[in-house]
Structure 1
Amino acid sequence: EPIVEEMRRFLDKGMELQRLVPFAEVMAELAWLGEGDRDEALHLIALAEGLAPTRAVFGGLAAWRRLLSPESDPGETDGMAEPHRLQLIGDWRAAAALWARMGAPFERALALLQGDEAAQREALDIFEALGARPVAQHVRGLLRQSGVSGIARGPRQATRANQAGLTQRQMEVLQLIERGFSNKKIAAHMAISPKTVDHHVSAVLGKLEAVSRGEAAAAARASGLV
């Protein structure tokens, strides 16, 4: 979070493309994982698209936009990096193969997510092998939503926090919720923005299947998380 806030401050000083593109990619991934603002991410991607001097600059962001908004028009793909171009025209097999040859397993798995059930299961295996737990958990949710059954829970985690799918930062937020801290007080205590706290609180409630802060705190105490 401190790095994201620093990126945001730099961007406030000037909307240069070299600052905007990486920030937009970070915000897009957070939004895709349910820990960021989707509308803000799509707005940043649109800003970058308007500033990009060539389509080559925009390939990665176009791929993230497709993940956030599957029905969106990718626009002109000529000039983009080949694996991005292939993903955007729907040739996920060729894109995944190219990412594999380039030694980019995370990007390969993202391409496989566009494919059939077998490809999506392979993507999940890759994310698990990389230790990308939040992404793996998100992919499990996507598979369940699409009606896929028999999805492995993944490797046994060392702590109850990991079993609940909480990141270290989300555990810190949960502990403060249990102590009765407001979002504003949590933001001050953790030296992060209130908006970032809002995203963390929403993620914590979702992962604990709680409808309120009190219910989340009760669930955390009952399961031994706090």
Structure 2
Amino acid sequence: MIGVAEAAAQIVALGASLHARRLTHGRTGNLSVRTSGGVLITPTGGSLDALAPDALALVDPDDRRHVSGPPPSKEAFLHLAVYRARPSCEAVVHLHSTHAVALSCHAGTDSADALPPLTAYYAMRVGRLPVLPFHAPGDVRLEPVIEEAARDVHALLLANHGSVAAAADLVAAADVAEEIEETARLWFLLHGHPTRPLSPAQTACLAVPASRTGGPA
């Protein structure tokens, strides 16, 4: 488990990178890291391209108490639910990236598994991607739904909202979120065309390592 200062530097750098590459926009999305001092998370109302190490919120994961910094994201409960469900997970990335959100709005999306395994990297980094029922952003009624689902998977799609990715560190969690976005983009590009996803036998040899996803995938 890393220290607060190191986690803050990682969050600031990743937030700027995600925003610059249009994987988030405006004041959407939030990032968190479990540290030795608590869960460090981006503040409410903040843009990921304008974060500062001393302007992140620190939350106690046990009693949800706001320890220091500005008010945390209104979706902090989402991150804490994932950490409870996946004790080995150390980071969570929640994005509103364009193609992942489009997929979450698509009427034909399979709620049990939103995307087929189109590529080896998707199979390795994501695996199964369930879609959770719609809740308004900040609606705490989503919390038990997230916690239950995250016990079985480390990647989730929130209906008409965006993706949630958890992993053993922030870089790995971002890799998962980016793989969801890129595979959703591929899915839309291929929509209506004959498509050859990986077979069950091919995906079986590409299982996501538990050490990277903070628990069973």
What TM-score do you get using the length of structure 2 for normalisation?
0.28
The structure whose residues are more often helix, as a share, is 1
Which protein shows a greater Rg?
1
What TM-score do you get using the length of structure 1 for normalisation?
0.27
Relative CO higher for 1 or 2, CA cutoff 8 Å, sep ≥ 6?
Answer: 2
